[in-house]
A and B are shown apart, each in its own frame.
Chain A
Amino acid sequence: MAIVKTIRPGLIQIRVLDLDETLEFYKNVVGLDEVGRTSDGRVMLKTYDEFDHHSVVLRKAEEAGLDYVAFKVMDAETLEQIKVDTEKFGYAVEEATDEQPGFGKRYSTKLCTGHTIQFYNEVELAADYPMLKNPDPWKEEPRGMRAQRFDHLLCYGPNIAEAERYFIEVLGMFAPEVCNTEDGKRFATWLTGGNKAHDIAFVEYEQPGKMHHFAFYLQDWNDIGHAADLIGKNRVKRDVGPTRHAITRGQTIYFFEPSGNRIETYAGGYAAYPDNPQRVWDVAEVGRGLFYYEGELIPSFLSVVS
């Protein structure tokens, strides 16, 4: 399936409480590479397998959580069209002015759920990117959890039905899987702009702008086990797993980094096609949907957010 408008979530900026301790964790436990620092001291990171300049930015702050996530779109024309369509949809758009080295023009908007999202098309290649000519799987053996890419995120906030409509109508995405309450209202939605099972997901929640987790893609179930070993070895606060989702079918382990942001390392997942029928979950069954081996919800999972 061809990607219509939105290629991927390619950049995420996270607030951290202790920059040094948290950076150490992302580099040595998750296995990201430090790309550099912005003039105001934010740290840019990327995985070994990503091409673009950087994908994760850590900003030292008084609160943990998500600053914003930015989606890379097909071309410059699509970027301008998304700006116009976002305004038509009813969300104000402004050009992002915070420094992101290597990135071209970025537009920024705030969703009804309280989350800031951005769009961009231009971004420079990283100084160190994967091989192109007769390529090995990696140049240097990956460290830590061997994260391959920033994969997706799950946001908590109010009125996710409207946010879902925005991603579909304006960003050309679709929802392969959803979960509804007993009275038919949207409780959760999983959205993708391409073949991945999800690029972004939402759960209905009273407080706006909350991040449940963001995720890195790992190679397979073996690497999930390897991540679990590193969680044990480094006394990381594990949340859930290793287990499997029925929703998206991915294999997974969740844990908290030192500033309390939840991270998922995720492998597998089905290929999503926009012509396939949508899978629908009842909220009463969502525990099984999320944690297929446990068959029930884990209390921390729905209520702990940053």
Chain B
Amino acid sequence: MEYKVTDATTGNTFMADENDSLFFAMRRKHEGPITYGCGGGGCGACKIEILDGNFEIFKKMSRAHVSEQEQDSGIVLACCVKPKSNLTLKKFSQK
């Protein structure tokens, strides 16, 4: 099953498979705000904010990069989450 992912910053959309991490979906499609990272939840380079939609955290994320509070508010590492519905996201930026 594929879901539509919208990059809130650019308005661009791409399809992501529910069995792929958002990170690998972005890498594969050359779409979305993230272009590189460790893919293992360790480096924090793929930190995103999910603004709308359902997702599954399937892999442990380094607490050096995502706090529990952030996780609860949809701030995650793209390499550790899979889409479970259409999603709107943007690259995380420090407020």
A interface residue numbers (CB < 8 A to B): 17-18, 62-65, 237, 239, 256-262, 299-300, 303-306
Contact = CB atoms under 8 A, between A and B. Distances in A.
B39 A237 contact: yes
Contacts of A262: 38
A62 B62 contact: yes
Contacts of A17: 40-42, 59-62
A260 B41 contact: yes
A64 B43 contact: yes
A65 B40 CA distance: 12
Question: Is chain B's binding surface mostly helix, strand, loop or mixed?
Answer: loop
18 contacts: A17-B41, A63-B64, A64-B38, A64-B40, A64-B41, A65-B62, A65-B64, A237-B40, A256-B38, A256-B43, A259-B40, A259-B41, A299-B35, A299-B36, A304-B43, A306-B38, A306-B42, A306-B43
A256 B42 contact: yes
Interface of B: 35-43, 45, 59-64, 79
Given A64-B41, A64-B62, A259-B41, 20 more contacts: A17-B42, A17-B59, A17-B60, A17-B61, A17-B62, A63-B42, A63-B63, A63-B64, A256-B38, A256-B43, A259-B40, A260-B41, A261-B42, A299-B35, A300-B36, A303-B45, A304-B45, A305-B43, A306-B42, A306-B62
B24 to A, nearest CB: 9
Nearest to B37: A304
A76 B64 CA distance: 37
Contacts of B42: 17, 63-65, 256, 259-261, 306
Contacts of A237: 38-40
Contacts of B38: 64, 237, 239, 256, 260-262, 304, 306
Contacts of A62: 62-64
Contacts of B63: 62-63
Contacts of B39: 237, 256, 260
A4 B26 CA distance: 50
Nearest to A207: B64
Most chain A CB inside 10 Å of its own CB: which residue of B38, B39, B42: B42
Contacts of A64: 38, 40-43, 62, 64
Given A256-B42, A306-B43, A63 B62 contact: yes
Contacts of B64: 62-65
